[in-house]
Structure 1
Amino acid sequence: DDLLPIAGSIKARGGIYEVLKYAETLAINEDLLTINEDYSILAQDNFKNFFSNYTIQVGSTGNLGLSIGIISAKIGFKVKVHMSKDAKQWKKDLLRSKGVEVIEYLSDYSKAVEQGRKESENDPNSYFIDDENSKDLFLGYGVAGLRIKEQLEKMNIIVDENHPLFVYLPCGVGGGPGGVTYGLKLVYGDNVHCFFAEPTHSPAMLLGLMTGLHDKISVEDFGIDNKTEADGLAVGRPSSFVGKIMDKILSGIFTIEDNKLYKFLKALAIEENIYLEPSALAGFLGPVLISGKEGEDYLRKYNIFENKDNITHICWATGGSLVPENIMEEYINRV
């Protein structure tokens, strides 16, 4: 997803979809648009003037803010992105260069979302995009299942009972990987096995699912500091909406230390000439774990061990193409 246009991350799937859906709803309600028209007219000045009467707000550690901010500003909305302390400076700078108002907080992601939601509720012309609870965002991410099916068919890669698909997804609050998992399960059913990857210092979804308490519990409750270089995954409290869906369909969760993110980042840059941001590398530990003892136990439990050589592994690269060159150089030189 680092190659997705406009926002260069998985958040382009859900974020851009929800903004365009909101724009469509406003225009149709005002009789400015019908579903039979060419939607490219939404880019015209009269629509931009109309959308400028409305504000879109979002809480983010980075990539969702980029996704929402860039597309919203482009089609005329006023935009406020509430960013936690974990957000990278270059992401804040990029948003401001696009005309987006960035509000910075000294607290973590949950507080930024809470404040953004509260401010938006006080303005009747404001729309809050909620990464913790939005069904539209979730469905936007879910379309990835159809996209993967199309891509794998073009590559002549079979996915069936004897040729399972294993997918490893970096997880923050859970919306992005949750939506992708939901979409993949709709397409492939039991033939796809999805695993979430979280930083050791921010295992929010892991704890939410293990305890069954979801958003009623945070990593801080366990004395974990929620400090990680993987800014997009620096979340202390998971989405309850997503967690309750994943409880039934997710295959597992594992954690990864920050230093390993940089090792994978450097190796991928050198070996494959692919440049990702740290959080996008979290899933790369998945195939390593599956080849170990815990992985063998899992494969035997689900009668996959005999077909282990037929497994197609996908490490979901969630973002990186917008990272400035000098920052990427710093990442590579960390190890």
Structure 2
Amino acid sequence: MHDRNKDCLAALREGKTGTWIRPRISGADALGHVISGGDVDAAAERFVRFAPILTMLFTSGAWDGHIVSELLDFHGPDDANWLVKGDHALPMTGSIKARGGVHELLCIVEQIALSNNLSLDRLTTPEARSILGSYRVVVASTGNLGYSIGVVGRAFGLVAEIHMSADAKAWKKDRLRDIGADVVEHACDYSETIARARVAAENRRDTMFVDDEGSRHLLTGYAVAADELARQLDARGVRVDAETPLVVYLPCGVGGAPGGITYGLKRRFGDAVATVFVEPVASPCVMVALASGLASPPSVYQFGCDNGTIADGLAVPRASALMLDAVGEAIDAVVAVTDSAMLDWVRTAWNRSALRLEPSAAAAFAAHAPFNLAAKHEPEWPRLDRATHLFWATGGSKVPDPEFTALLSPDYADAEG
């Protein structure tokens, strides 16, 4: 094992911030063959087909049915000009899961419609709701994926069964129950919850299982965001090339969302974009997978980590093997950050730009300093002082006011463990 890998694993055992970095930025040739560009294009077309239907199901505001977030300005330390991808405010569910999770759900609805001779323009009729109501979608979640599947699934009339790990926040479970979803609570971590949900869905008639560890539809739904971002950067006149690279900081749980986005970004920008996955020091599942060099993703418990973190969306002990097959060689860096750093950035993001972020989303900002320090010591990395730094805000706009106010207190303690 390389000394740099030993060093980052040693830092994790001590509960300290750690950085794993590839010796040089990877290009599109590092992408695996789990999904293809054609798969991503098909996902983009599916989102367009369903846009009129989504506007009928979610009628608040002047939304046009397209799942698009703003590209926001943010003043970083020393007046650095940073950009933020505002997926924390995406329509319907207020998190990045409105991309991959909703895409998977649209695939399920489309499959049901085809098997029942329903045209898409009839999906909001009483007849369609009666048919869709005979089908059940099952998913495991630490919070936002389950919330997104539940909210949009119930809007279509599907029965939604959401298995929630011990890390999931109470308010997310309460809101799911309020819209008629079946919430199944498990006193175990995310990996075990997925295993239990998978068993619960087996051999059940008219039941579809959304597999966060092994779904290609999730990956392609997230990957669509790359072309959206490219259009926004172009509209701002932001160049992305070898001289002015793009560095994107992506909060990471099991890996589906950052993995899909990485696929899309590498497909679009090649080695002019560097993707930095960000994890809690207690749950660095992608870091241990890459640094250990093991053939299959190991558990963080094997490396002295306890998976206990305030960032419920990132509390995952084992990375997705499918995601690693798809983009494992294309991940340029992984940074593990502390809970206190995430909380500091929740407050900073709010105080500087009124960004309402969960700790999971604020993790992206906390990775900037340790990553850039590590990159300075890599001789084959470009100088990043000319780079565009972009932080993917993955969720937080739906956090209830009392919960968010508590996060802003310097004396905050996570009452839910």
Fold agreement, TM-score > 0.5: yes
Report 1:99-118 matches (<5 A). 99-118=180-199
Report 1:5-16 matches (<5 A). 5-16=91-102
Residues 1:176 and 2:272 aligned together = no
Corresponding residue for residue 301 of structure 1: 380
For the Cα contact (< 8 Å) 2:97–2:148, is it kept in 1? yes
Worse-matched range after superposition: 183-192 or 206-215? 206-215
* Equivalent in 12, 19, 26 of residue 112 of structure 2: 26
For the Cα contact (< 8 Å) 1:167–1:315, is it kept in 2? yes
Corresponding residue for residue 9 of structure 2: none
Which structure 1 residue ranges, 4+ long, deviate > 4 Å from structure 2? Answer: none
For the Cα contact (< 8 Å) 1:207–1:219, is it kept in 2? yes
* Equivalent in 87, 90, 93 of residue 168 of structure 2: 87
* Deviation by residue 1:254-298 (Cα, 9 ceiling, x = unmatched): 100000101011011111111100110111123212442x12123
Corresponding residue for residue 36 of structure 1: none
* Equivalent in 326, 330, 333 of residue 406 of structure 2: 330
Corresponding residue for residue 349 of structure 2: 268
For the Cα contact (< 8 Å) 1:215–1:238, is it kept in 2? no
The whole-number CA distance in structure 2 between the counterparts of 1:73 and 1:207 is 37
For the Cα contact (< 8 Å) 1:228–1:234, is it kept in 2? yes
Letter in 1 for 2:323: V
TM-score by length of 1: 0.94
Residues 1:41 and 2:122 aligned together = yes
Report 1:28-177 matches (<5 A). 28-33=114-119, 39-177=120-258
The whole-number CA distance in structure 2 between the counterparts of 1:214 and 1:42 is 44
* Deviation by residue 1:131-153 (Cα, 9 ceiling, x = unmatched): 10000011001101111101111
Corresponding residue for residue 225 of structure 1: 306
Letter in 2 for 1:319: G
Share of identical aligned residues, percent? 39
For the Cα contact (< 8 Å) 2:254–2:318, is it kept in 1? yes
Instruction: Tell which has more relative contact order, 1 or 2 (C-alpha 8 A, sep 6+).
Output: 2
Distance of aligned partners of 1:139 and 1:214 in 2 relative to their CA distance in 1, 3 Å threshold: farther
Q: How many Å apart are 1:3 and its aligned residue? A: 1.2
For the Cα contact (< 8 Å) 1:214–1:243, is it kept in 2? no
The whole-number CA distance in structure 2 between the counterparts of 1:32 and 1:65 is 26
Residues 1:317 and 2:317 aligned together = no
Letter in 2 for 1:322: K
For the Cα contact (< 8 Å) 2:337–2:367, is it kept in 1? no
Unaligned residue ranges in structure 2 (runs of 5+): 1-86, 412-417
Letter in 1 for 2:200: E
Distance of aligned partners of 1:290 and 1:256 in 2 relative to their CA distance in 1, 3 Å threshold: closer
Corresponding residue for residue 2 of structure 1: 88
Letter in 2 for 1:220: Y
Residues 1:285 and 2:371 aligned together = no
Q: 1:301 aligns to what SS in structure 2? A: coil
Distance of aligned partners of 1:235 and 1:5 in 2 relative to their CA distance in 1, 3 Å threshold: same
Q: 2:367 aligns to what SS in structure 1? A: helix
Unaligned residue ranges in structure 1 (runs of 5+): 34-38
The whole-number CA distance in structure 2 between the counterparts of 1:208 and 1:54 is 36
For the Cα contact (< 8 Å) 1:214–1:240, is it kept in 2? no
Letter in 2 for 1:61: T
Letter in 1 for 2:380: K
The whole-number CA distance in structure 2 between the counterparts of 1:319 and 1:107 is 23
